[in-house]
């Protein structure tokens, strides 16, 4: 069963008198274990498609299924629960809490869950080791480089063992070399741990990391390249 099924999806924004057709009948199926990259010019609909696929926003027409659950009529509370349970988020600005240490930031999504705090600490430490930060557990975000902060946020995205990790321009604030290291890490997590990943990026070098590249233009998928 696919992780995400986007079915003839439309997103129309109404801003004052202006109507923007951000997505125009998009179809996309993401299978478990895929690493998919969304590419395309600014304004082509990448963020909109990424946000809709993660249940962060509502489509105007069509449907999206996450792990087989239709989002179309799903009440907000269920949608929120589904997001917390099934989706991991990586942001271009990392969105770490400055007052918390790396390990506490990773624990945060499950801090108020039923998970036992010793188990949670173990899991957070394990994830930080997995992203190469085993020796930075108690550092605060300000004591870490941009690349290290993004690694913390990647570890945080994995703490609930999500079906899908979405990353909107995860390398936008990093220099080229560090950006490549982050993409390399995502690929490692994908191949070694089967994490399903959907990334939007401008980085043309991403081709070598993804197993499928989807090109958007003006709200439509115009090309798909598998590798």
Q: Where does this chain bind ligand ADP (CB under 6 A)? A: 13, 15, 20, 22, 40, 42-48, 56, 80, 83, 89
Of 162 and 179, nearer to ligand ADP (C-beta) is: 162
Q: How far apart are CA 154 and CA 170, in angstroms?
A: 10
Rounded least distance, CB 20 to ligand ADP, Å: 5
Rounded least distance, CB 91 to ligand ADP, Å: 6
Of 7 and 217, nearer to ligand ADP (C-beta) is: 217
The b/e string for 48-76 (b: 16+ C-beta within 10 A; e otherwise) is bbbbbbbbbeebeebebbbeeeebeebee
Q: How far apart are CA 101 and CA 152, in angstroms?
A: 10
Q: How far apart are CA 107 and CA 124, in angstroms?
A: 6
In sequence order, which residues have a C-beta less than 8 Å from that of residue 74 and are 6 or more positions away? 82
Rounded least distance, CB 217 to ligand ADP, Å: 9
Q: How far apart are CA 47 and CA 89, in angstroms?
A: 13
Of 75 and 177, nearer to ligand ADP (C-beta) is: 75
Rounded least distance, CB 89 to ligand ADP, Å: 4
Of 45 and 179, nearer to ligand ADP (C-beta) is: 45
């Amino acid at each position: 069963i696919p992780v995400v099924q986007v079915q003839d999806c439309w997103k129309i924004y109404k801003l004052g008198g202006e109507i923007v057709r951000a997505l125009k009948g998009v179809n996309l199926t993401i299978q478990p274990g895929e690493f998919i990259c969304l590419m395309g010019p600014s304004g082509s609909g990448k963020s909109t498609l990424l946000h809709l696929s993660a249940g962060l926003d509502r489509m105007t027409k069509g449907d999206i299924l996450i792990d087989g659950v239709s989002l179309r009529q799903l009440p907000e509370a269920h949608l929120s629960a589904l997001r917390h349970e099934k989706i991991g988020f990586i942001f271009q600005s990392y969105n770490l809490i400055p007052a918390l240490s790396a390990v506490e930031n990773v624990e945060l999504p499950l801090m108020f869950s039923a998970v036992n705090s010793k188990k949670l600490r173990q899991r957070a430490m394990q994830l930080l080791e997995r992203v190469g930060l085993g020796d930075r557990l108690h550092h605060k975000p300000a004591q870490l480089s941009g690349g290290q902060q993004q690694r913390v946020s990647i570890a945080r995205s994995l703490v609930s063992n999500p079906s899908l990790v979405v990353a909107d321009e995860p390398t936008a604030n990093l220099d080229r070399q560090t950006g490549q290291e982050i993409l390399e890490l995502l690929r490692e997590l994908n191949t070694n741990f089967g994490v399903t990943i959907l990334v939007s990026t401008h980085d043309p070098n991403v081709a070598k990391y993804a197993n499928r590249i989807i090109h958007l233009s003006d709200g439509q998928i115009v090309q798909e390249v598998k590798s």
